[in-house]
Amino acid sequence: MRLAALSKITITMSLSTLLIFSYSLVPIQAHIFTSNESASFISLVDQIKSALVAINENNSSNIDAIKEQTGYAKALLNDSMVEEIHEKNQRLATELPRALDSLQNMSEEELNSNITNLLDLLSETINARVEKDRLENTTVQALAVAGDVDKIFSEYSSAYNKSVTGMDMSMSMNMSMTPDNESSMEVPKDIQAYDRALAFADITIDRFNTELTGKSENISSAQGALSGLEQLRNAMHNKEPPSNLLGIVHGQIHPNLQTAYGLELA
Q: Which domain holds residue 113?
A: 4-261
Q: What pLDDT, on a 0 to 100 scale, did the predictor assign at position 50?
A: 98
144-195, pLDDT tens digit by residue?
Answer: 999 999 999 999 999 998 665 444 444 443 444 344 444 455 789 999 999 9
Contacts (Cβ under 8 Å, ≥6 apart) of 16: 30, 32
Average pLDDT in the chain: 84
Q: What pLDDT, on a 0 to 100 scale, did the predictor assign at position 211?
A: 98
Region 47-54 average pLDDT: 97
- What φ, ψ does residue 241 adopt, rounded to 5°? -60, 145
Residue 229 forms part of a structural domain: yes
Are 205 and 227 contacting, i.e. CB atoms less than 8 angstroms apart? no
Residue 225 forms part of a structural domain: yes
Are 148 and 207 contacting, i.e. CB atoms less than 8 angstroms apart? yes
Instruction: Read off the pTM.
Output: 0.83
Give the total number of structural domains in the chain. Answer: 1
Q: Give the span between the Cα atoms of 102 and 111, in whole angstroms.
A: 9
Are 229 and 208 contacting, i.e. CB atoms less than 8 angstroms apart? yes
Q: What pLDDT, on a 0 to 100 scale, did the predictor assign at position 265?
A: 87
113-135, pLDDT tens digit by residue?
Answer: 899 999 999 999 999 999 999 99
Q: What pLDDT, on a 0 to 100 scale, did the predictor assign at position 110?
A: 87
- One DSSP character per residue, 52-83 reads HHHIIIIITT-HHHHHHHHHHHHHHS-HHHHH
Q: Give the span between the Cα atoms of 17 and 162, in whole angstroms.
A: 18
pLDDT band at 16 (very low <50, low <70, confident <90, very high): very low
Residue type at position 150: D
Region 4-19 average pLDDT: 39
Encode 204-242 in three state secondary structure: HHHHHHHHCCCCCCCHHHHHHHHHHHHHHHHHHHCCCCH
Residue 266 forms part of a structural domain: no
Residue 80 forms part of a structural domain: yes
Q: What pLDDT, on a 0 to 100 scale, did the predictor assign at position 60?
A: 76
- One DSSP character per residue, 140-187 reads HHHHHHHHHHHHHHHHHHHHTT----HHHHHHHHHHTTS--HHHHT--
55-92, pLDDT tens digit by residue?
Answer: 998 877 888 999 999 999 999 999 999 999 999 999 99
